[in-house]
Amino acid sequence: MEKTKNTDIVKKYTMVIVLVLVTSFFAWQTGGAILLPMNVSSLISQNAYVFILATGMLLCILTGGNIDLSVGSVVCFVGAIGAVLMVNFQVNMYLAILIMALVGTLIGAWQGFWIAFAQIPPFIVTLAGMLVFRGLSNVVLDGMTVSIKDQETFVNLFGGGANCYIPDFFGNGTLNLTCLLAGFLAVGIFLFLQIRNRRERIKKGYDKDGNGGFVIKLAVVSGAVLAFTWRLSQHKGIPTVLIWVLIVVLIYGYITSNTRVGRYFYAVGGNEKATKLSGINTNRVYFLAYLNMGFLAALAGMVTIARMTSAQPTYGQSYEMDAIGACFIGGASAYGGIGTVPGVIIGAVLMGVINLGMSLMGVDQNMQKVVKGLVLLAAVIFDVVSKRGGKLIAVN
């Protein structure tokens, strides 16, 4: 009994353990460079789009392993529209943001309609979207680069340029105290909520987890957050894009674990027929997943052009693969119904660490792709095989 419990814990936190191992490996290989404040900070800003897109992708995957291939193109298209509006048409920045969000959502609605109500396979619909919006990006940009360097507020707001950090209110120049304080505050809130929640659960007799596991979990998470903000405060502080990522992650983490709609995503992916027979409109669930994916792709589009301070027809290529990869590495089931936002965050960080680590080691770009591909395959093989009870070859 005790033994199965331990293997269960290992299974549950496999990716966390892998993340620690992989990070240690790169820290060793790069002489600690990967843990330098500057690199920790760029881990966030470089991978912000992965966090945002992977969260949206998780909802699609939850509905039954369905993926959205079009997100890279939608990111590019929305970015292109925003840049053209702000630069060529001198549209007010906030209006431009609104229009971008609207365009993304409309694209989501368009694809969602065909997938959910006309029941065209998602693979086909989003493959079409991938081509259509890549092409349209070229049309909108006329094949050129549109620079948004002058749109400083926009760029700073979405985490691009040199000045994209939350200003330090008490700073002395070397250590960003605001950032550190935010870290402590976050840990405080986290501990408060967790402990209160557990107390209530124990009082009502729901909780079966051991005390040890709980304390270790709290210590690990708090330690990680503190170490992370410590590193950030040694660089320039909190990148603005981290705020966006946090907002997305917190909201969607809440939706998936606490709301009725969130429950429906899991139910549809877990057993669509049972869900339908429980009086839930499954078509609407599919529609929502893709609608939302469009919206988040728009947000990722804003982040992308801000970081690049320009829009180009080639932006966003293979972003969909990064997002899908983060989901599966983060424990989402390729058959749907299983996966969490925290898991996806781990997956995205792991991908980011692998990217950054290999870049620092000077590994060839092409080999990086090879490694990423193998990691993705390994993660899904692990998922499928462990569910089959450890048998590698399925019985025919």
Partner 1 sequence: MEKVLLEMKHITKTFPGVKALDDVNLKVTEGEIHALVGENGAGKSTLMNVLSGIYPHGTYQGEVFYQDELCRFHTIKDSESRGIVIIHQELALIPYMTIGENMFLGNERGNSYKINWNETYGRAEELLKTVGLKESPRTLIKDIGVGKQQLAEIAKALAKKARLLILDEPTASLNEAESRALLDLLLHFKEQGLTSILISHKLNEIAYVADKITILRDGGTIETLDKNRDTITEDRIIKGMVGRELSDRFPGRGKRAVGPVRMEVRNWTVCHPLYPERRVVDDVSLTVRRGEVLGISGLMGAGRTELAMSIFGKSYGENVSGRLFLEGKEARLNSVRDAILHKLAYVTEDRKGNGLILKNSIRVNTTLANLRAVSRHGVIDRDKEYGVANQYREKLKIKCPGVDRHAGNLSGGNQQKVLLAKWMFADPDILILDEPTRGIDVGAKYEIYCIINRLAEEGKSVILISSELPEVLGMSDRIYIMNEGRIVGEMAGGEATQEAVMARILSPGQRQPGQKGEQNGKD
Least distance in Å: CB of 284 to partner 1?
11
When asked if residue 337 is in the footprint of partner 1 (CB under 8 A), the reply is: yes
Least distance in Å: CB of 175 to partner 1?
39
When asked if residue 279 is in the footprint of partner 1 (CB under 8 A), the reply is: yes
Say how far residue 62 (Cα) sits from the centre of its chain: 14
Query: Taking the chain, what is the end-to-end CA distance rounded to the nearest angstrom?
Result: 32
When asked if residue 3 is in the footprint of partner 1 (CB under 8 A), the reply is: no
Least distance in Å: CB of 259 to partner 1?
5
Convert residues 153-192 into a mask of x (bound to partner 1 by CB under 8 A) and - (unbound).
----------------------------------------
Q: How many CB atoms lie within 10 A of CB 139?
A: 11
Least distance in Å: CB of 391 to partner 1?
17
Convert residues 189-218 into a mask of x (bound to partner 1 by CB under 8 A) and - (unbound).
-----------x---x-x-x----------
Least distance in Å: CB of 252 to partner 1?
14
Closer residue to partner 1 (CB): 46 or 281: 281
Ramachandran angles phi, psi of 165, nearest 5°: -120, 155
- Give the span between the Cα atoms of 269 and 231, in whole angstroms: 39
Least distance in Å: CB of 277 to partner 1?
6
Task: Tell which one of 258, 314, 317, 386 touches partner 1 (CB under 8 A).
Answer: 258
- Give the span between the Cα atoms of 283 and 118, in whole angstroms: 9
Q: How many CB atoms lie within 10 A of CB 149?
A: 11
Query: 280 to 299, contacts with partner 1 by CB under 8 A?
Result: 280-281
What are the C-alpha distances in Å from 32 to residues 17, 37, 236, 360?
19, 11, 19, 10
Q: How many CB atoms lie within 10 A of CB 23?
A: 18
Q: For 311, what's the count of Cα atoms within 13 Å in the CB-facing half-sphere?
A: 32
Convert residues 338-357 into a mask of x (bound to partner 1 by CB under 8 A) and - (unbound).
x-------------------
Closer residue to partner 1 (CB): 171 or 217: 217
Least distance in Å: CB of 29 to partner 1?
38
- Give the span between the Cα atoms of 323 and 51, in whole angstroms: 7
Task: Tell which one of 118, 162, 277, 395 touches partner 1 (CB under 8 A).
Answer: 277
Ramachandran angles phi, psi of 10, nearest 5°: -60, -40
Closer residue to partner 1 (CB): 89 or 391: 391
Closer residue to partner 1 (CB): 156 or 281: 281
Q: Are 222 and 183 in contact (CB under 8 A)?
A: no
Closer residue to partner 1 (CB): 204 or 391: 204
Closer residue to partner 1 (CB): 3 or 273: 273
172, exposed or middle or buried, with CB in 10 Å at 0-12, 13-18, 19+?
A: exposed
Closer residue to partner 1 (CB): 90 or 203: 203
Least distance in Å: CB of 7 to partner 1?
15
Nearest to 115 by CA among 261, 276, 292, 271: 292
Q: Are 183 and 246 in contact (CB under 8 A)?
A: no
Find the radius of gyration of the CA atoms of the chain.
21
> Which secondary structure element, helix H or strand E, spans residue 155, and what is its range?
helix 152-157
Task: Tell which one of 46, 194, 271, 359 touches partner 1 (CB under 8 A).
Answer: 271
Q: Are 324 and 262 in contact (CB under 8 A)?
A: no
User: Which residues bind to partner 1, rule: CB under 8 A?
Assistant: 200, 204, 206, 208, 258-261, 263, 266-267, 270-271, 273-281, 337-338
